Amino acid sequence: MAVRSDSVPALAGVFRTYGFDGASLAVISEHTGLGKGSLYNFFPRGKEEMAEAVLDQVGAWFMTEVFDPLRVESVSPAERITAMFDAVAEHFGSGNRICLFGAFALGNERARFGARVQGYFDAWISALTTALECTDDPAGLAEECVSTIQGALVLSRALDDSLVYTRLSGRLRDRLLARMEL
């Protein structure tokens, strides 16, 4: 039997492709394979609740797979940073998939989901700052790192070339690792 959480990955794909406003219930119904009745059974508050569920599930994935590992003291800071870039590249399909939080930050969606968006970026920068404590400017570099990844996703998407993402994130990673050796 289908459960609510099973439909969240499909919902994520729809919101990534169409945005919040562009994702009609007809499109959602088609991509999830669920009728409107089922959708309102799982998400009584409608589309807004669907998007919240997506944001929460993606946010939870980043927490366990990206943010928490950045604070594990038994792993060297350089290895933590390298692992972060690997996990992030995997999640964003090396530039082929956008960041929902970034897209929602730029779009009209920010009005509805601003708190979740802010929480995601705060958590990322905070975790990165911990891993970069061995540098001379942990908070500044963490902010720069998160921002650069978002920029790489924008540019990669704009130029329709995932190599742009790979190139930019590789440069960033190397620059951070160099700063950690000081």
Q: What x-and-dash track marks residues 42-81 binding DNA by CB under 7 A? A: x-xxxxx---------------------------------
Q: What x-and-dash track marks residues 120-139 binding a second copy by CB under 8 A? A: xxx-----------------
**97-156 binders of DNA (CB under 7 A):** none
Number of residues located near DNA, criterion CB under 7 A: 23
Encoded amino acid at 168, one letter: L
Encoded amino acid at 95, one letter: G
∠ CA(132), CA(100), CA(91), 5° rounding? Answer: 60
Q: Is the dihedral of CA 56, 57, 60, 66 positive or negative?
A: negative
DSSP 88-150: HHHHTGGGTS--HHHHHHHSTTHHHHHHHHHHHHHHHHHHHHHHTTTSS-HHHHHHHHHHHHH
Residue whose CB is less far from a second copy, 34 or 152:
152
Tell me, rounded to whole angstroms, the distance of Cα 72 from its chain centroid.
Answer: 21
13 binding a second copy? (CB under 8 A) = no
Of the candidate residues 8, 11, 14, 23, the single one contacting DNA (CB under 7 A): 23
Task: Return d(Cα 57, Cα 15) in angstroms, integer.
Answer: 13
Q: Please compute Rg for the chain using Cα positions.
A: 18
Residue whose CB is less far from a second copy, 65 or 144:
144
143 binding a second copy? (CB under 8 A) = yes
Q: Applying CB under 8 A, which residues contact a second copy?
A: 17-19, 21-22, 98, 101-103, 105-108, 110, 114, 117-118, 120-122, 140, 143-144, 146-155, 157-160, 164, 167-168, 171
Q: Applying CB under 7 A, which residues contact DNA?
A: 1-4, 23-27, 33-38, 40-42, 44-48
